């Protein structure tokens, strides 16, 4: 079945041909094509959630007015990277930050380099690069995610959901095209305080100490998002309170079918390419960040959701047998991935993608035009991702990912030298829980289908670990909360416990409990800046307490700089220890509590065998 020929949805809207940026045609040469913030922009995924008014009946979109374009200035500094010369595109006068944007760290993964390991960029010193052409990897949201806010609102309000929950009943209407989207997307940004960068000019000076580096890996289910979806200027400014601050780096990586297509792994070696992109970028940072004033021996990598899950996979890369990772510390926020994606699932996704394209081999797919591949990726994930999932993700590949990551942690097969801080929200799983969870009688069969375990294992999960007892004693009071707890434990929060025990109780951990404390609700706190009104991606709730936001930023920046999370706004923050303590952040207080991931459920999930 060739879906590109029009068997699904509206054939006329299948090719992403809409051009819209603040009411005018997208200018791909304008790095601010989708109303970028003063330092970094809003990515296609978060842009859609935060700024587009989605109407399920008419698919209308309202788009905000643009901010002014900032042009390159000849007075801005230029860095010689050897293979190219790169000039800062702008200087933020309010925060005293240089922005070196869209620095190429790998060759374009197009043509024969599609579905290949990242390669070094070619030398091009014919002119100075400014990064003025916006770059974002192809990004797509599954349809269920666009229905999620309405479904959860109806659940909370105890009202009837007035829309269909049958994914296939909706016509395919792609989001407006982001003019930055391209397969040639392996770029990163370096944002550096002027004080730090100026020291690179005085190499013989006594005051030439390099600054700590914080690297951000965005989330998005390995399907959506880009490096510029969150404005880090407030976080960087917070790091400058008591010293020169930090050098901040954010990276793009291939996602969806471009980064996580698998199947026939031993023959093609194409699995987990998004992870390889990230690793390639981290190695670029280790080699080049000193040119911007950053210390390659003081690199902290931070990620949320799929970005955090990626970090866990880097820590466990090659089972710890390929030397140290190119970073020293990790801040892992709500580490998310679907463990145990079976070879059967991988093959089904691969064959469905080929069917959409009308090809039968990866070599045939490599020869197709980029527009067709991007459209097929969008169509497949839009329709095929079951509620709460994203179709593609990390898989065991006998190489970079030799086994399920949490099993590698249990067996001690990882880089033990990394220092770790984790964070999560109180109710991680609800955001990935669909309306089918209202049927508590289907819980056991849903476990078999969704978690990919045997019927006997599912029976144990349903009757022992998460029994249908709704008095609150097991952490839930209805079937929706029951499923949400399972999903949260299995794919998100239990990794906090696995990391704590793997690193001999020496990890730091915090939890955001400000209601409703859904997955990703801590992101606005991480990237808060004075006066910010941007909220979480699904419900656009802004920061409820600025003190909490500043405390979380203090923990992040002090851990990056000193290796310990500290803030004058919160109680002392010590390692979890054998009693598994974490710092609980509430609306009006902070409190050290026992981490609820410390228990039999999370022990079970670390050892479960999948029916693959």
pLDDT tens across 447-501, in order?
A: 998 898 999 999 999 999 999 999 999 999 999 999 999 999 999 999 999 999 9
- Does 49 have pLDDT greater than 80? no
State pLDDT tens for residues 144-178. Answer: 998 999 999 999 999 999 999 888 888 887 777 78
CA distance 371 to 378: 11
273-288 and 306-315 are packed helices; what angle lies between their axes, rounded to 10 degrees? 70
Establish whether 428 is a catalytic residue.
yes
First-to-last CA distance in the chain? 26
What is the domain partition of the chain in residue ranges?
Answer: 1-148+162-417, 432-612
Catalytic position from the list 305, 334, 389, 437: 305
Q: How confident is the model at residue 46 (pLDDT cuts 50, 70, 90)?
A: very low
pTM for this one? Answer: 0.88
Task: Please list the alpha-helical segments (H only) found in 415-467.
Answer: 443-451, 455-460
For residue 235, give both structure tokens.
């976080």
Count the neighbouring beta carbons within 10 Å of the beta carbon of residue 531: 7
The pLDDT assigned to 395 comes to: 94
The single-letter DSSP state of residue 43 is: -
Count the neighbouring beta carbons within 10 Å of the beta carbon of residue 229: 28
Residues in the chain: 612
* CB within 8 Å of 163: residues ≥ 6 apart: 56, 147, 150
Q: How confident is the model at residue 200 (pLDDT cuts 50, 70, 90)?
A: confident
- Does 22 have pLDDT greater than 70? no
- Does 33 have pLDDT greater than 70? no
Whether residue 401 contacts residue 447, with contact meaning beta carbons closer than 8 Å, is answered with no
Q: How confident is the model at residue 595 (pLDDT cuts 50, 70, 90)?
A: very high
Between 156 and 34, residue with greater pLDDT: 156
CA distance 405 to 319: 9
The single-letter DSSP state of residue 199 is: G
**DSSP states of 524-580 as a string?**
HHHT--TT-----TTT-PPPS-HHHHHHHHHHHHHHHHHSS---TTS------TTTT
Whether residue 522 contacts residue 544, with contact meaning beta carbons closer than 8 Å, is answered with no
Whether residue 249 contacts residue 285, with contact meaning beta carbons closer than 8 Å, is answered with yes
Catalytic position from the list 84, 229, 428, 495: 428
- Does 139 have pLDDT greater than 80? yes
Establish whether 334 is a catalytic residue.
no
Q: How confident is the model at residue 541 (pLDDT cuts 50, 70, 90)?
A: confident
Between 52 and 419, residue with greater pLDDT: 419
Q: Which helix (H) or strand (E) holds 422?
A: strand 419-425
What number does CATH give the domain 1-148+162-417?
3.40.50.1820
Q: How confident is the model at residue 385 (pLDDT cuts 50, 70, 90)?
A: confident
- Buried residues in 302-329 as b, exposed as e (16+ CB within 10 A): bbbbbbbbbbbbbbbbbbbeeeebbbbb
* Mean pLDDT score, 49-64: 30
State pLDDT tens for residues 238-258. Answer: 999 988 999 999 999 999 999
The pLDDT assigned to 384 comes to: 83
* Mean pLDDT score, 421-431: 96
* Mean pLDDT score, 262-274: 78
Going 596 to 597 to 599 to 602, the CA torsion angle's sign is: positive
Strands 90-92 and 97-104: antiparallel
3 state SS of 260:
helix
- Does 25 have pLDDT greater than 60? no
For residue 121, give both structure tokens.
């960029």
């Amino acid at each position: 079945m060739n879906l590109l020929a029009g068997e699904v949805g509206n054939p006329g809207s299948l090719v992403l041909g809409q051009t819209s940026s603040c009411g005018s045609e997208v200018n791909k040469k304008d790095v601010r094509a989708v109303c970028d913030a003063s330092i970094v922009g809003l990515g296609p995924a978060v842009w859609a959630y935060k700024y587009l008014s989605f109407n399920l009946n008419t698919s209308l979109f309202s788009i905000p007015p643009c901010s002014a374009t900032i042009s390159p200035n000849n007075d801005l500094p230029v860095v010689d990277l050897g293979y190219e010369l790169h000039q800062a595109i702008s200087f933020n006068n309010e925060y005293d930050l240089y922005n070196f944007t869209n620095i190429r760290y790998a060759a374009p993964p197009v043509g024969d380099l599609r579905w290949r390991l990242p390669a070094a960029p070619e030398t091009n010193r014919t002119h100075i690069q400014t990064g003025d052409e916006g770059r974002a990897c192809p990004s797509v949201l599954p349809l269920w995610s666009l229905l999620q806010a309405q479904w959860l609102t109806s659940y909370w309000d105890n009202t009837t959901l007035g829309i269909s929950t049958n994914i296939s009943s909706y016509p395919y209407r792609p989001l407006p095209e982001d003019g930055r989207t391209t397969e040639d997307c392996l770029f990163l940004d370096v944002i550096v305080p002027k004080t730090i960068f100026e020291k690179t000019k005085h190499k013989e000076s006594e005051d030439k100490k390099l600054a700590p580096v914080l690297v951000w890996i965005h989330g998005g289910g390995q399907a959506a998002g880009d490096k510029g979806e969150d404005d880090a200027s407030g976080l960087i400014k917070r790091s400058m309170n008591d010293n020169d601050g930090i050098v901040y780096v954010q990276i793009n990586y291939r996602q969806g079918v471009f980064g996580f297509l698998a199947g026939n792994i031993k023959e093609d070696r194409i699995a987990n390419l998004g992870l390889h992109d990230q690793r390639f970028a981290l190695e670029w940072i280790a080699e080049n960040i000193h040119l911007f004033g950053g210390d390659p021996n003081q690199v902290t990598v931070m990620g949320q959701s799929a970005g955090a899950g990626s970090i866990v996979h880097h820590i466990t890369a090659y089972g710890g047998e390929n030397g140290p990772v190119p970073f020293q510390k990790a801040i892992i926020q709500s580490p998310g991935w679907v463990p145990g994606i079976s070879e059967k699932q991988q093959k089904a996704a691969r064959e469905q993608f080929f069917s959409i394209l009308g090809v039968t081999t990866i070599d045939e797919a490599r020869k197709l035009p980029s527009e067709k591949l991007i459209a097929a990726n969008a169509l497949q994930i839009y329709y095929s991702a079951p509620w709460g999932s994203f179709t593609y993700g990390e898989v065991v590949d006998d190489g970079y990912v030799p086994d399920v990551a949490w099993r590698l942690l249990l067996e001690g097969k990882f880089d033990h030298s990394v220092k770790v801080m984790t964070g999560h929200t109180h109710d991680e799983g609800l955001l990935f829980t669909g309306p089918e969870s209202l049927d508590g009688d289907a819980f056991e069969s849903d476990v078999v289908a969704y978690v990919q375990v045997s019927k006997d294992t599912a029976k144990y999960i349903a009757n022992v670990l998460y029994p249908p007892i709704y008095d609150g004693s097991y952490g839930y009071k209805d079937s929706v909360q029951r499923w949400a707890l399972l999903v949260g434990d299995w794919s998100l929060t239990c990794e906090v416990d696995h990391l704590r025990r793997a690193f001999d109780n020496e990890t730091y951990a915090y939890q955001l409990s400000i209601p409703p404390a859904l997955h990703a609700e801590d992101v606005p706190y991480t990237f808060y800046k004075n006066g910010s009104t941007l909220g979480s991606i699904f419900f656009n709730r802004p920061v409820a307490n600025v003190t909490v936001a500043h405390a979380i930023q203090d923990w992040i920046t002090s851990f990056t700089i000193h290796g310990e999370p500290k803030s004058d706004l919160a109680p002392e923050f010590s390692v979890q220890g054998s009693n598994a303590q974490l710092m609980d952040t509430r609306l009006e207080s902070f409190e050290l509590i026992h981490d609820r991931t410390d228990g039999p459920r999370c022990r079970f999930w670390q050892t479960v065998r999948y029916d693959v």
